[in-house]
Structure 1
């Protein structure tokens, strides 16, 4: 039986869970006021609409969130790759109408499976090209451009009756560490940080965004705590007039779990001004995860809140305020669900992406088939797009070889290049970090020497310095991006030339 304080805590908790069916513990907590759930890739299957219906039957006010950004980050298409344009592609195109239509399409897809919160758009300004966790998830490195497209995406999502949640406040774009594994610190000049990185979040608040997700980053000028646990940082949003839901990034990320812990982090985040606590993906510990990791993480988080309420270090009024904001959003979404309209009928994802893909260097001869060397970096916890679907869509039945340039000798790399060059079709070197990974660039240079007719497909940020082979710039590790690059190399449409190498 859930006691009064546990029920109060339930109203601000947003767990992930294992499996494609709602476990018994989750259904019970939903009946006892649990705020909702977050879907991750392991929850997605053909039965997702039925799963959502089961969750909403247990709690009709449940918020069901999903990281559906398009481009390199998808949960709904995690097995096959996204078929929606990504943020960097939309930023390069800089067509606000196309971005708004993309937001509406994301909302339509999310609503079709019974969810009601899109954990996006990314409002980070990606000013550090080394950034391992944002990169092409951002619209770009200019705050005015990012602000434009954040507003357009919010309009598309929320006009379709789904909540948008901009992330990762106060801005994760100037980091070169991944907060899933460590606690990044922003050492940027504070005036510049406020002018550049806060601007898209201000724009989102002014546009009426429903929710804002915090980042586990430290800005030393604002204190030693990560933003998620920092009342000064979260207070800025309220000072700007934001009265929506402040959602934490996942509390199971190392930046929180390995410092203050799940329970301590949850209590501290609420005390700092957060309203809804995303507990995270129970598969993140990998092989160390228990069969009941989801339930363990949930109870560890709730126990921390209840203990803090009992000892007075967390005020009941603060948790009631947070729960009321969560409930207000749920009520708004229930009303919107009764009056929603579908995305624009004129949405053509393939046409949008064709307009964003460019060619740097001389035009190669049209290929008849492609043989792919996949030299991209490994997946991160946030971005699982290093999966095989990008290379598979590019090769489309042709030879495909995975090559980890970080751990493979040059002699072995050369052997692979020669093997692929001898295969039928045009050699394609698939990369994602040409400006920041010297080993990827070196592979391209050696491939150019051994197979001058080879080409490059770059699914990361467009390169700032020219490569020695013709390069198709895709700016998203998605199935749609790979299919578009393939069509370009096969001569199925005229890809536009990238005007300058600095782009």
Structure 2
């Protein structure tokens, strides 16, 4: 039986779990007031609506969140790739109606599987092109553009009866480190930080966003603690008049787990002003994950909260306040009467076609495509090397995966020659040609060995021109890859783009 303090702590905890059915421990905790769950790829299958029903049967007020952004980040389509536009594509198009309708479609899809919280949109202004964790998940590098598309997407999601959660406050866009693996520090001038990186979040608050997710980043001007654990940073949101739910980014990320620990992080985040603690994805440890990793992580977080309540370092009133905010959101979502009808005039493929561009000379229409997949390895946040991108791009043609970060140049050149000898036009598939010298070097050698080759870039648009025609896609998604394939086969003409250098 859960004791009183454990039940109180349950009301602010949001775990992930293993499997496509709810494990017994999870059902028991839901019956004892657990706030809800977050779905990750391992939970998704044909039985997802039934899983949601099982969770809501155990706790009708459960918040069920999905990390579903469209573009490069999807959980609902993790096996096949997203069929929705991503943020960078929407930013490149700069059509707020398209962003609002994409948000509405996100809400419809999430509701269709029984969930009620979209962990998006990303409100980070991606001002550092080296950023390994945000990149094309952001609408762009200009705060005004990001702001208008964040607001439009929030409106679309929440008009669909689902909570939106903008992320990652106070802004994760100016870092070259991934907080899944380290604790980034952003030493920008405070005035610039406030002007650029806070603006989309302010606008989201004014637009009535239901939830805001914190970032595990340090801004030294606001203290040595990461934002998730920093009362000064989280206090800004309340000063702006935000009355919704402050959700932490996953506490199992290295920035928290390897500094203050999962339990310590849970207690400190609540003390700092967070309301709902996302524990994280229990598959993240990889081969080191234990069969009961989900329950272990949940108990570590809850035990940390209960210990802090007992020793007085965390006040009961603070946890009760947080739980009340979570409960109020759950009650409102449960009584929502939004329609599940298809979104009027929404055509994801047409939106992505309008966003895709061509840098350089127009290549001759191909009859087949042979793909060298030279993208970086996948990260915990983004499955950037997912096979479905190269598969959709190549169709029936040859495709070869090539890790340019580890393979010797001679081996890389042999792959270029192998693919060039195959039927069809050679396509070099990349995602960081400006930030990763090895990707650019591969393209330069491919241009010499196979001058008829082309580049498909699913990352941030190239700033320094490449020696081959480049299709700028802006998302590592199935829909983006299919659109690039259509462009290269001459089925439509992408808009022309010039790089910053000309």
The corresponding residue for 1:481 is 480
Superposed displacement of residue 502, structure 1: 5.0
**Equivalents in 2 of 1:334, 1:452: separation in Å?**
58
Count of aligned positions:
502
The corresponding residue for 2:144 is 144
Q: Is the CA contact (8 Å cut-off) linking 2:465 and 2:499 kept in structure 1?
A: no
**Equivalents in 2 of 1:424, 1:120: separation in Å?**
41
Query: Which sections of structure 2, spanning at least 5 residues, go unmatched?
Result: none
**Equivalents in 2 of 1:227, 1:425: separation in Å?**
50
The corresponding residue for 1:427 is 426
Q: Say yes or no: does 1:301 pair with 2:301.
A: yes
Q: Say yes or no: does 1:445 pair with 2:453.
A: no
State the secondary structure of the residue aligned to 1:158.
Answer: helix
**Equivalents in 1 of 2:167, 2:282: separation in Å?**
21
**Equivalents in 2 of 1:282, 1:74: separation in Å?**
17
The corresponding residue for 2:314 is 314
Superposed displacement of residue 386, structure 1: 1.2
* Post-superposition CA distance 1:101-141 (Å, at most 9, x none): 00000111111000000000000000000000000000000
Distance change in 2, residues 1:313/1:116 (3 Å): same
**Equivalents in 2 of 1:318, 1:358: separation in Å?**
50
**Equivalents in 1 of 2:390, 2:156: separation in Å?**
31
Superposed displacement of residue 434, structure 1: 1.0
Q: Is the CA contact (8 Å cut-off) linking 1:160 and 1:343 kept in structure 2?
A: no
**Equivalents in 2 of 1:377, 1:499: separation in Å?**
25
Matches within 5 A, 1:154-165: 154-165=154-165
The corresponding residue for 1:357 is 356
Superposed displacement of residue 345, structure 1: 2.1
**Equivalents in 1 of 2:338, 2:349: separation in Å?**
29
State the secondary structure of the residue aligned to 2:389.
Answer: helix
**Equivalents in 1 of 2:495, 2:241: separation in Å?**
43
The corresponding residue for 1:222 is 222
Matches within 5 A, 1:25-424: 25-336=25-336, 338-340=337-339, 342-424=341-423
Superposed displacement of residue 218, structure 1: 0.3
State the secondary structure of the residue aligned to 1:212.
Answer: strand
Superposed displacement of residue 480, structure 1: 0.2
State the secondary structure of the residue aligned to 1:2.
Answer: coil
Q: Is the CA contact (8 Å cut-off) linking 1:83 and 1:478 kept in structure 2?
A: yes
* Post-superposition CA distance 1:285-329 (Å, at most 9, x none): 111110000000000100000010011110000000000000000
For the aligned residues, what is the CA RMSD? 0.8
**Equivalents in 1 of 2:393, 2:15: separation in Å?**
36
* Post-superposition CA distance 1:52-76 (Å, at most 9, x none): 0000000000000011000000000
Q: Is the CA contact (8 Å cut-off) linking 1:271 and 1:318 kept in structure 2?
A: yes
The corresponding residue for 1:466 is 465
Distance change in 2, residues 1:240/1:342 (3 Å): farther
* Post-superposition CA distance 1:165-205 (Å, at most 9, x none): 00000000000000000000001111101110000000000
State the secondary structure of the residue aligned to 1:428.
Answer: strand
Superposed displacement of residue 384, structure 1: 1.0
Higher mean displacement: 207-216 or 491-500: 491-500
Q: Is the CA contact (8 Å cut-off) linking 1:360 and 1:501 kept in structure 2?
A: no
Superposed displacement of residue 385, structure 1: 3.0
- After TM superposition, the score normalised by the length of structure 2 is 0.99
The corresponding residue for 1:19 is 19
Q: Is the CA contact (8 Å cut-off) linking 1:129 and 1:135 kept in structure 2?
A: yes
- After TM superposition, the score normalised by the length of structure 1 is 0.99
Superposed displacement of residue 499, structure 1: 3.9
State the secondary structure of the residue aligned to 1:278.
Answer: strand
* Post-superposition CA distance 1:406-439 (Å, at most 9, x none): 1111111111000000000000000001111111
Q: Is the CA contact (8 Å cut-off) linking 1:375 and 1:429 kept in structure 2?
A: yes
Superposed displacement of residue 341, structure 1: 5.1
* Post-superposition CA distance 1:212-231 (Å, at most 9, x none): 00000000111110000000
